[in-house]
Amino acid sequence: MSAQNGNAAGGDGKRAVSTRTEVRRHAVLSQIKPWLYLLPALIFLGIFMVYPLFDVLIYSVEEGYNSASQTYFGIGGYNYAYVLRDPFFLQALKNTFILVIITVPVSTGIALLISLGLHSIGRLKELFQTIFFLPYVTNTLAVGLVFMILFKKTPYSDGFMNLLITAVGGTAVDFIDGPYWAKMFVMCFYTVWVVLPFKILILTSALASVDENLYKAARVDGTSSFRIFTRITLPMISPMIFYLIITGFIGAFKAYSDEVAIFGTDLNAAGMNTIVGYVYDMLYGDSGGYPSYAAAAALILFAIVLTITCINLLISRKNVHYT
Amino acid sequence: MKIVLEHLTKRYPNLNRKIRTDVIAVNDFTFEIPDGKLIGLLGPSGCGKSTTLNMICGLEAPTSGRIWFGEEDVTDLPAERRGVGMVFQSYALYPHLTVRQNIMFPLENLKGADRLTKQEMEARVLEAAKMVQIDQLMDRKPSEMSGGQQQRVAIARALVKMPRVLLLDEPLSNLDARLRLQTREEIRRIQRETGITTIFVTHDQEEAMSISDMIVVMEAGVLNQIGKPQEVYDDPVNLFVAKFLGTPPISVFEGKVKGGRLYLGQDCVMDVPGLPDRTVTVGVRPEGFDPDPQGTMTCGLRAVEVMGRDTSIVAEHPACPVPIRAIISTEDLPEEGAATVRFRLKPAKVHLFDPGTGERIRL
C-alpha cells in the first residue's frame, strides 16, 4: 500500500505539482471572471456616478471656491448655511415640496381610476389605451406649446382656460405671469398630465395580471365591489402602486425641464424655481459660477429624496404584498 | 338541497365572426340531482362541464332554461344569493391573506341579520378548518403550503358559509397521483359528514366513478347519460359513454350479425337472437374476455402485463384496428411462448352499438 503510494508520488510528482497550480489558476480565474464581466459597467458607473458623487461632496464643503483660479479658503459647512438661507433656494424648496405632495398622490390616484375604467370596459379598450398613452410619446416642447395655448394670456386672447372661466362667469386669471397659486396650478396640472400615461400603462397591466378566478371566488362569496377593490384588487396590485409612488416622488423632486417649458428659463423671476433648477442656476444661470452652492443644494436634495424613500420603504413593508 | 336543471342551454357568439352560428356550450340539459348526493360531472375537456357548473353557481347566465334549488327558482339570482360554495381548479385563494383570513373572507361579507360576531366567525372558521384538518396551519400564507393543503383551504372557505350546494371544479387536477387518491377520499368524507349536495367536475372517469353517488356523462354540450357509476358502466347508452368509462378502455370491434349470430371477423362469438342481419360496432369490456382453450375468439398474443393483483393481456384481432386489452386472473395466464390466445366472451360485458350513430343496440 505504502510502496504503491510512494511510487505514485515519485513517478507523478511533477504532474501532481502542475495539476495543483492548474487548479489554483483555475480557482483564481473563476474568482476574477465575474468581475471581468462586471468591469464595463463598473468603469462607467465609476466615472459617471461614483466619482462625481464624491466630487460633489468635496465641492460642497470647500468654502469660497473660485472656479477660475481653482482655489478655496477652507473646509466647512458654510455653503450649506448659505444655501439654506438663500430666499431663492427656500422658494425652490417650497415649490418642489408643493409639487411633490400634490402631483404624486393625484397622478397615482387618477391613473388608478383610469386604469380601473380601462380594465372594466370591453369595447374600444385599445382605442382608449392609445389615447391615454399618447402624451407619453409626445414631445415635451409640443406639450408645452399646447399648455401655452390653454393658459397663456396674449394681446390677442386670454387663453382657452380663461375663455372657459369667463364663460361660466368668472374673471380671467393670468396663469403664466399671474398669481402664485395660478402658476402652481398650471405646474401641477402639467406634471400630472405628463406622468399619467406611464402610470396608466403600469397599472393597467398590473390589473390585467390579477387572477380572474380571485374575482369569481369573491363574487360567489357575495363580496361587494368596494370590498373586492379594497381587499383584493388593491393588495394584489400594491407592489406596482408602491413602485409608482417611489418613482413618482423621485421624479417630482427632480422636476425642472417641465417648469422651463412653461415659465421660461428665468424661473427665479417667475418664482417657480425647483431645487434642480436652483442647482442649474448656481452652475450656469445668470447668477452662475457657484459650483459649491450648487453642490450643497444637490446634496440637500439627495438627503431629502433618501429620507422620503426610506419612509416609503418602511410604510410599504406593512402594506405591500409581494406574492 | 335538491337541484333541478330544466332545458338548460348556453350559447356563446362565435369568436370567428364570419361564422354566424353560435357555439353551443351546453345543449338542453335536463336532470335532477337528489338532495345530499355527490355528483360527478364527467366528460372530456371542452364538453361544457365547467360552463354547466358556472351556471349552477351563478357566474354565468344561461341562454335559456331554468335552475331550481329545491322549490326555489334561482335562475335569475346573482351568485352571492344562491348560497353556493365553489372550489376553483386553481383554488383561487387570496395570496396576500393567511389561511384564517381566507376562510373568514366569505363570513365577513355577510350583512344585516346574517352578520356574525367576531367570536362566532372565529368559531365557524375553526370548525371549517378542523373539518378539512388544516387547523394547525391557520397563520400560513397560501404560498407557504403544498397543493393539497391549499386545496383543503379552498374547501374550507367554500364550506364555512354553510352553502346549500357545494361545487368543485376539477378539484384534484393540480395534485400529484398519491395526493389525488387521498384527497378524493377526503372530499367523499367531508361530503358525507356535511350532507351538502355536491357537484364536482372532472375529466377523469376513475375519479368520478370512485367517489360519486351518481355520474353525469357529457359530450360536446350534450348530456349522454346519468346514473349510478356501476349502472352507467354496465349499461352505457352509447359508444361514447362506453369508451369514456373504464380503464383499460373498452375494446371496440367491427362486427356483423348474421342469422342471429354475432361475428367478429371470422369468429362467431355469441348468439344474438332476434337481431336482424346487419353490421354492428361491438364493445367488449376488458373483464369480458374469458380465456378458454375452447373459446370462440382467436387472438394473436402480443404481450402479457402482470400488475400484481391481476394480469392484463394485450392481443390483436383482425376486427379491431388497435390492440385489445383483456384483464384475466393470474391462474388463467396463457402458456409461455404461446402465439395465440382463445377467449370466450361474457355476454353481459359485450355491448352492441349502431356503427353510424353510436347508439346502443339492445338485445
pLDDT tens track for B177-188 = 777 888 888 888
Tell how strand B267-271 and strand B261-264 pair up: antiparallel
0.80 surpassed by pTM:
no
Residue of A nearest to B106 (CA): A221
Nearest-Cα residue of chain B relative to residue A238: B96
Residues 145 through 174 of chain B touching chain A, CB cutoff 8 Å: 157, 161
pLDDT at B66 exceeding the cut of 60: yes
In this prediction, residue A323 carries a pLDDT of 64
- pLDDT (mean) for B75-84: 83
Q: What is the mean pLDDT of chain B?
A: 83
Which residue of B lies nearest to A236 if distances are taken between CA atoms? B96
Residue B105 contacts A, CB cutoff 8 Å: yes
Mark whether A69 and A87 lie in a shared domain: no
Residue B70 has pLDDT above 60, yes or no: yes
Q: Which of A230, A255, A250 is nearest to A312 (CA)?
A: A250
Write down which residue in A45, A75, A105 finishes a domain: A75
Q: How many CB atoms lie within 10 A of CB A281?
A: 24
Poorest-confidence range of A206-215, B27-36, B221-230, B306-315?
Answer: B306-315
Nearest residue to A191 (alpha-carbon basis) of A280, A120, A263: A263
What pLDDT shows up at residue A2?
43
Alpha-carbon distance A123 to nearest alpha carbon in chain B (angstroms) = 15
Domain coordinates of chain B in residue numbers?
A: 3-244, 251-361
The arithmetic mean of pLDDT across residues B50-66, rounded, is 85
Establish if B77 touches chain A: CB-CB under 8 angstroms. no
Report the CATH number that the domain containing residue A282 is assigned in CATH. 1.10.3720.10
Do A54 and A96 reside in the same domain of the chain?
no
- pLDDT given at position A12: 55
A9 pLDDT above the threshold of 60: no
**Is A28 found in the same domain as A102?**
no
- In total, the C-beta contacts within 8 angstroms joining chain A to chain B are 58
Minimum distance, in Å, between the CA of residue A305 and any CA atom of chain B: 29
Residue B70's contacts (CB-CB under 8 Å, 6 or more residues apart) are B1, B2, B35, B164
pLDDT tens, residue by residue, A182-208: 888 888 988 898 888 899 989 988 998
pLDDT, mean over chain A: 83
Contact B96 A218 (CB under 8 A): no
Whether A223 sits inside 8 A of B161 (CB atoms) is no
Q: CB contact, 8 Å: B104 with chain A?
A: no
pLDDT at residue B108, as a whole number? 85
Range of the domain at A107: 82-319
Q: Identify the closest residue of chain B to A211 by CA–CA distance.
A: B92
Q: Does B94 touch chain A (CB under 8 A)?
A: yes
Together in a domain, A153 and A299: yes
State which of A75, A94, A118 marks the end of a domain.
A75
CATH architecture type of domain B3-244: 3-Layer(aba) Sandwich (3.40)
Pairing of strands B38-42, B214-219: parallel
Q: What is the pLDDT of residue A51?
A: 93
Mean pLDDT of the region A74-83: 84
Q: B143 and chain A: CB distance < 8 Å anywhere?
A: yes
pLDDT confidence of residue A140: 74
ipTM given for this complex: 0.78
B88 at A interface, C-beta within 8 A:
yes
User: In chain A, which residues have their Cβ closer than 8 Å to the Cβ of B96?
Assistant: 235-236, 321, 323
Verify that A86 and A223 share a domain, yes or no.
yes
Nearest to B134 by CA among B121, B119, B116, B147: B147
pLDDT given at position A16: 64
Q: For chain B, say whether A213 makes contact (Cβ under 8 Å).
A: yes
Percentage above 70 pLDDT, chain B: 98
CA distance A222 to chain B (A): 4
Note whether A7 and A103 are same-domain residues. Answer: no
CA distance B110 to chain A (A): 8
**If pLDDT is split at 50, 70 and 90, which confidence band does A1 have?**
very low
**Minimum CA–CA partner of B55 in chain A:** A220
Contact B25, B48 (CB under 8 A): yes
Shared-domain flag, residues A56 and A182 = no
- Please tell me if residue B92 touches chain A, with a CB cutoff of 8 Å: yes
Q: Which of A213, A227, A323 sits opposite B88 (nearest CB)?
A: A213
Q: What is the pLDDT of residue A108?
A: 93
- Asked if residue A118 and residue A36 are part of one domain, the reply reads no
**pLDDT computed for residue A101 by the predictor:** 93
User: Given an 8 Å threshold on Cβ–Cβ distance, is A214 in contact with B94?
Assistant: yes
The answer to whether the Cβ–Cβ distance between B94 and A231 falls below 8 Å is yes
Q: Are residues A184 and A47 in the same domain?
A: no
pLDDT recorded at residue A307: 92
For residue range B239-284, what is the model confidence (pLDDT) as tens digits?
A: 888 888 888 888 888 888 887 788 887 777 787 777 788 888 888 8
Q: In terms of domains, do A188 and A290 share one?
A: yes
